[in-house]
Amino acid sequence: MTALAIETHGLTKRFRSQLAVDGLDLAVPEGAVFGFLGPNGSGKTTTIRMLLGLVAATAGDARVLGADMPKHVDSVLPRVGALVEGPAFSPYLSGEANLRRFDAADRRAPGRTRAARVADALDRVGLSHAARKKVHAYSLGMKQRLGIANALLMRRELLVLDEPTNGLDPQGTREVRSLIRALADDGTTVFVSSHLLAEVEQVCSHVGVMSAGRLVAQGTLDAFRDEGETQVLVRTPDVGPAREVLGRLGLGLGDGGGERGEAEGRGARLDGNADEVSARLGTVAPETVVAALVEAGVRVRGFETVHASLEQRFVELTGEGFDVVQ
């Protein structure tokens, strides 16, 4: 059995008449980069607050780094770095001074190495050049990076990040992505709540999806994609005959635009390009599709199977769209 950094059973939170989190059974393996996904209001932040002992659960239980929460909050939180709902700093102090204050509040942090730790944390998030600048002059992205630096002042076994790339430019986003990978390589478990699917796909090893307070799916990223519908994409100048072959094989209509109405009756679609036809593969073997196309005289210029993207799986599970940033 894989050891778990975070484990919940029936975790529930009700605010008066609103059920914010409903019977959550979460399992985050040690060493994973876990992407925690869901639309606004799905219960992600409330879950994080319960895990960190900031909000009391209505029912159920949670274990973080092997200890019951919030019972052992005093011993667990020093081993956890967290950035939740954006960073909050003293605006008229410098970034360096803010980090020094936070570090001094940590009873485990030795004062003699404070300056080195603060300098190292600022360097890791690319803020060394702004260490002496007052925080009120920081951009949103710089404040976000300073919040991550605060979470990294001491070595942590678990890092919890709520929208860590919020407000970052593309270069800053790449730096944070690289930082998360480096932390995971060092053995730190990273729990990332995010609405940027492209970021999650590039950095996460595991995902969990929330919808209306319930966890509707979780597991490795690869397994998550594989559970979705696989499509075939055929490139051919013989679009009409290709459609007919795919229809005879019973392949389902793909999603999206193109000449959808014309294709629906045939079980395939023209996807906006003059030489491409795609369809849901179902249980038909790809080699069977290729053989049928060739036997029918369809000139096949290209053929590939495409697994469901994270975005497609998210829509399948929640019925809602999601922000996608490339």
Cβ contact 325:254 at 8 Å: no
pLDDT at 274: 60
Q: How far apart are CA 51 and CA 8, in angstroms?
A: 9
Sheet holding 158-162, edge to edge: 80-83, 158-162, 189-193, 33-37, 206-211, 214-220
Q: How many CB atoms within 10 Å of residue 141?
A: 17
Q: Which two tokens stand for residue 269?
A: 């679609």
Q: Which of 169, 88, 83, 180 is nearest to 136 (CA)?
A: 88
Q: How far apart are CA 88 and CA 66, in angstroms?
A: 29
Q: What is this structure's pTM? A: 0.74
Domains and CATH numbers, the chain: 4-220 (3.40.50.300), 231-306 (3.30.70)
Q: Which stretches of the chain score pLDDT less than 50? A: 253-273, 322-326
Q: Which of 164, 159, 98, 82 is nearest to 131 (CA)?
A: 98
pLDDT at 183: 85
Beta-bridge partners for 68: 63
**Residue 151, SS3 per DSSP:** helix
pLDDT at 1: 60
